[in-house]
Chain A
Amino acid sequence: MIKVDNLVKTFDGFRALDGVSLHVTKGSVYGLVGPNGAGKTTLIKHLTGIYTPDSGSSAIDGSEVFENTDVKAKTIYIGDDLYFFPSYSIEDTAKFYKDIYPTWSDERFESLKEIFKIDTKRKVRRLSKGMQKQVAFWLGICTRPEVIILDEPVDGLDPVMRRNVWRVIVQDVAEYGTTVLISSHNLRELEDVCDHVGIMHEGKIVLEKSLDDIKGNIHKIQLAFEGGFPEGIRGKLQVLHTESTGRVHMVIVKGDSEEIKEKLKHFNPIICDLIPLTLEEIFIYELGGMGYAFENIIL
């Protein structure tokens, strides 16, 4: 549904996107993660037709996005920095969206009033940032989009509203097969909703897999040995990280879990437990392996 191919974007000599490629299948929820300055927002602004690339392509449903009204009509973009017309109420803005988006649903707008519970006569600009974000979701969902592109979507929302928003999005995916691309730093929340993840670093996608594949390929193992930590392990396995507390060692290793267990048997561990990794840990160790100071991005 979304396909980015070798996209390059330069700002004053700085390559914000350095040949980035990405693929999001229809009906999936794709989490785009990466440290600050990785190029996530720049990539999203290409996917929403705001930016023009220096080279490469960004397509939705097989068509280039820039100046493509058909594609834009079925795409909704909710950025971190929202804009609403001054003096417009929610009703006015809804009417504007209705005129702009051909697939607008009045019925949905009415039904979502129950969830968002904001007086539609209120001026949007006078609402709090969190409420403005709710309005953006409300209106966006009412356009019945085929693609939803979200940049830091739940920043500023209270926990209850966060849950509501995610619920609405997931429901949309389930009911209409909507494709969602979410850029966020909140990895814990992404882990709950995403089925695919792409990690961006320095203008490139350094990892793009389904969440299951990622989790199946990187493991946290708790080990204990009679003596010290056998250094031979590093030669046999792809170790990303080690930590030791007394005789107990915690190792992050990439690879197939059965293969790893088999190899570890040769070192006669007293304890050998595989513990599931969170997306946040995967993100930290993957980027840590690339030299990124992951301490800076722990949330």
Chain B
Amino acid sequence: MRSKTSFFNKALFLSDIKRYWWLFAANTALLIFCCVIPVYDRCLNAVGVSFGDAPTWLGVGIVINIVFSLGVGTILWTFMHFSNSVSTFHAFPVRRSTIYITKLISGFIMLILPIVINGVIFVLLSFTPVCFGHFSAYDALIWIYRGVIYSLIIFSLTTFVNMMTGNPIGTIVFTGGFSLLPLMAIGFCEGLFSQELYGYYNNLSDYGIDKIYIGPQGLTSLEYGFIYPVASVIMLVGAYILYKYRRSESHGEVISYKWLVPVFIGIVAAIASGISYAYFWEIVGIESIFTLIPFGIVGTAIAYMISQKSLKLKGSLKPIALYIVITICFIGAVRFDITGFEDRIPSIDDIAGVSIDHSRYYVRDSEIKDKPMFTDKDDIETVIRLHQSFIQDKAAHENRSEGSLPITYYLKNGKKITRMYLINSEIDTAFLKPVYETPEYRASRFGLLQEEDYVYTMVEVTDRRIGSDTYIALYPDNDDMQKLIDAVKLDMQNTSYEDMLKNYEASTNVYISWTMEEKNVKEPEDLIKSDIYANSEAYAVKPSSLNTIKVLEELGFYDMIPRADDISQVKMTLNPERSGKVVVEMTLNNPEEIAQIYSEYDDMIKGYHFHDYEGANIDINLIYTLKNGHQFDVSATYDKDKLPDTFLKYLK
């Protein structure tokens, strides 16, 4: 019995299954070979099997899901791409809605059934003696869910794209293009605006990129889990509407709808402009916003020719002229900052709070990572004054190497404004010092200072001069562990503004790192859920870390540091003008000379590389070879007038 309103046609469905069964079979077999068998093998060999954190060794399953979804999504709709097949299908006594729904069901069956079959095998395996305890049936269900969602989103995207083009090559190319479009668009904006807009802050998450490209873990999270299912439904509904109004005669066309042609040309022109800007900036070395135009014109012409399926340029002058006009307007808008981006500082009455480090990396609780550091009005005013200083003296803040400072305003209306500037300590100290010395900033910069419910499970002291075999590792059963932690905390609290300004983390030899757990964690999964990224940190020891150094001395750490007579050779290079051109390059084997050079750096024994940015113009690099074969290197930067005599004699 046929129903006039039925959305399913058995004959069409069976014809799809009969013709494309091999896709289903290949999908199932590949998942077995690439997922089920490796998992079983790992269980058999007792190698860690964890579905929970979606390990890369199961990532190939996701790749299979994506590839087959693209393939099935393309092949199911190829009937629309050829005159004879589209005529035959649309002459059948079947409504388009029925064809559409039936094809979707065919696609879902071919994509989802292989995942379910493999998932069921996983479930069964989870109860076998080999796999029991390695993973659970729940893990297998999560695996099924993730596979289904990835298949769904790609199949929906391919179906949606299929409706916009009239040939299979267009489907594959445009699906790829659509997938990468957000990344390309954001990358383009990031690159362009960070060069052209003073104070622009690069942060992909601000654009919601993490909500577009969702990893396996995100799929099962409350925050991101709904995105792909909802996006899939929207694309499938959009595809249905497009199919309903699609003209059968559009088979073979690159773009099926006339109204889409300008959109297509616009997107290609924008991508070509981005490539043009990147090419001239990165390869040719020209930094100018006008470099958007050359490839942009070429892209516009090519897109026009593709849309017309012709190699003739005739007719492309109009879109090219339009492209140039729009691009010039865009360039003008950026160059003259018509939106007032560069000078914008919110009114203090509109500000709920402010942070001077956007991500606040060391704030362990993810819920407060994106909350303001300062909410006190005086603190906010101090940051505003700092911000004003950045804007007023733009030239003095460009091309600096003292680090960058993101400022984020949290407005009362729920919006955020973030800017980032390069620090010039000569100018900024008056405003920056009061901010840096607040407990809030220290707590954000040094995670160890936060009041939290963590217990430390291990503390390690490492030094690359010693080598990988010998280092200090302290555990909770050793009182020295807490002693060292207390010393580090004290030094963190006493860190001077000047020390915080210097980037010690990048220049020290000695690192103290610790791992921790939440105090109330009962199950290992809870720990993972709590915040897996914040369970280890490191602290760079610097000359002012007096309390830390004292404890390290007591622990005998410095006895492990090589002495001059442990060194067999020093390879030294001196570069007086920081030009990359090496002036002195020599190898020293004389023990006296080695001792003289080694003793030059008392601080170095503590693990600190000396850097002097002000007027620094001589780079020194020393590679020490110990008698036991271990090597380590030390770099230092000096002002020419302050170069120690030890090195001066070699320069002469």
- Of the candidates A45, A75, A87, A100, the one whose C-beta lies within 8 Å of that of B19 is A87
**Inter-chain contacts of A107 with B (CB < 8 A):** none
Q: Are A72 and B93 in contact (CB under 8 A)?
A: yes
Q: Are B247 and A72 in contact (CB under 8 A)?
A: no
Closest chain A residue to B245 by CB distance? A52
Q: Which of A76-84, A113-121, A276-284 contacts B (4 or more CB under 8 A)?
A: A76-84
Asked if B581 lies at the interface with its beta carbon under 8 angstroms from chain A, I say no
As a 0/1 sequence over residues 64 to 86 of chain A, the CB contacts with chain B under 8 angstroms (1 = contact) are 00010111110101010111011
- Of the candidates B85, B86, B91, the one whose C-beta lies within 8 Å of that of A77 is B91
Main secondary structure of the interface of B (DSSP, over half): helix
Taking A45-B248, A51-B249, A52-B247 as contacts, is the C-beta distance between A100 and B92 under 8 angstroms? yes
Count of inter-chain pairs, beta carbons less than 8 A = 73
Q: Are B91 and A99 in contact (CB under 8 A)?
A: no
Closest chain A residue to B87 by CB distance? A50
Asked if A101 lies at the interface with its beta carbon under 8 angstroms from chain B, I say yes
Closest chain A residue to B258 by CB distance? A12
**Inter-chain contacts of B11 with A (CB < 8 A):** 96, 99-100
Q: How far is the CA of A99 from the CA of B74 in the complex (A)?
A: 25
**Inter-chain contacts of A88 with B (CB < 8 A):** 15, 18
Q: How far is the CA of A88 from the CA of B15 in the complex (A)?
A: 9
- Of the candidates B4, B12, B83, B91, the one whose C-beta lies within 8 Å of that of A81 is B83
**Inter-chain contacts of A130 with B (CB < 8 A):** none
**Inter-chain contacts of B184 with A (CB < 8 A):** none
**Inter-chain contacts of A45 with B (CB < 8 A):** 87, 248-249
Q: Are A48 and B19 in contact (CB under 8 A)?
A: no
Q: Are A69 and B93 in contact (CB under 8 A)?
A: yes
As a 0/1 sequence over residues 70 to 91 of chain B, the CB contacts with chain A under 8 angstroms (1 = contact) are 0000000000001111111011
Taking the closest CB of chain B, its distance from the CB of A28, in whole angstroms, is 21
Taking A51-B247, A102-B2 as contacts, is the C-beta distance between A69 and B86 under 8 angstroms? no
Asked if B10 lies at the interface with its beta carbon under 8 angstroms from chain A, I say yes
**Inter-chain contacts of A75 with B (CB < 8 A):** 91
Asked if A269 lies at the interface with its beta carbon under 8 angstroms from chain B, I say no
Which residues 89-106 of A sit at the B interface, judged by CB distance below 8 A?
92, 96, 99-102
Q: Are A69 and B95 in contact (CB under 8 A)?
A: yes
Q: How far is the CA of A46 from the CA of B18 in the complex (A)?
A: 31
Which residues 471-529 of B sit at the A interface, judged by CB distance below 8 A?
none
Asked if B385 lies at the interface with its beta carbon under 8 angstroms from chain A, I say no
Q: Are B15 and A82 in contact (CB under 8 A)?
A: no
Taking the closest CB of chain B, its distance from the CB of A287, in whole angstroms, is 26
**Inter-chain contacts of A83 with B (CB < 8 A):** 82, 84-85, 87-88
Closest chain A residue to B12 by CB distance? A100
Asked if A27 lies at the interface with its beta carbon under 8 angstroms from chain B, I say no
Interface centre among B18, B83, B87 (most CB of A within 10 A): B87
**Inter-chain contacts of A69 with B (CB < 8 A):** 4, 93-95
Q: How far is the CA of A50 from the CA of B10 in the complex (A)?
A: 21
Which residues 1-54 of B sit at the A interface, judged by CB distance below 8 A?
2, 4, 9-12, 14-15, 18-19
Q: Are A70 and B4 in contact (CB under 8 A)?
A: yes
- Of the candidates A11, A51, A79, the one whose C-beta lies within 8 Å of that of B84 is A79
**Inter-chain contacts of A156 with B (CB < 8 A):** none
Q: Are B84 and A101 in contact (CB under 8 A)?
A: no
- Of the candidates B83, B93, B95, the one whose C-beta lies within 8 Å of that of A101 is B93
Asked if B96 lies at the interface with its beta carbon under 8 angstroms from chain A, I say yes
Closest chain A residue to B10 by CB distance? A99
Q: Are A50 and B248 in contact (CB under 8 A)?
A: yes
**Inter-chain contacts of B248 with A (CB < 8 A):** 45, 50-51
Taking A45-B87, A50-B90 as contacts, is the C-beta distance between A85 and B15 under 8 angstroms? yes
As a 0/1 sequence over residues 210 to 226 of chain A, the CB contacts with chain B under 8 angstroms (1 = contact) are 00000000000000000
Asked if A177 lies at the interface with its beta carbon under 8 angstroms from chain B, I say no
**Inter-chain contacts of B88 with A (CB < 8 A):** 79, 82-83
Asked if A19 lies at the interface with its beta carbon under 8 angstroms from chain B, I say no
Question: Which residues of B come within 8 Å of A, CB atoms?
Answer: 2, 4, 9-12, 14-15, 18-19, 82-88, 90-96, 247-249
Show 11 A/B contacts (Cβ-Cβ < 8 Å), sorted by A: A48-B91, A67-B96, A71-B93, A72-B93, A77-B91, A79-B84, A81-B83, A83-B84, A83-B87, A92-B18, A100-B94
Given contacts A77-B87, A79-B87, A79-B88, 5 further A-B contacts (CB under 8 A): A75-B91, A87-B19, A88-B18, A100-B94, A102-B2
| 7 closest Cβ pairs, A-B complex | A99-B11, A72-B93, A73-B93, A83-B84, A83-B88, A81-B84, A69-B93
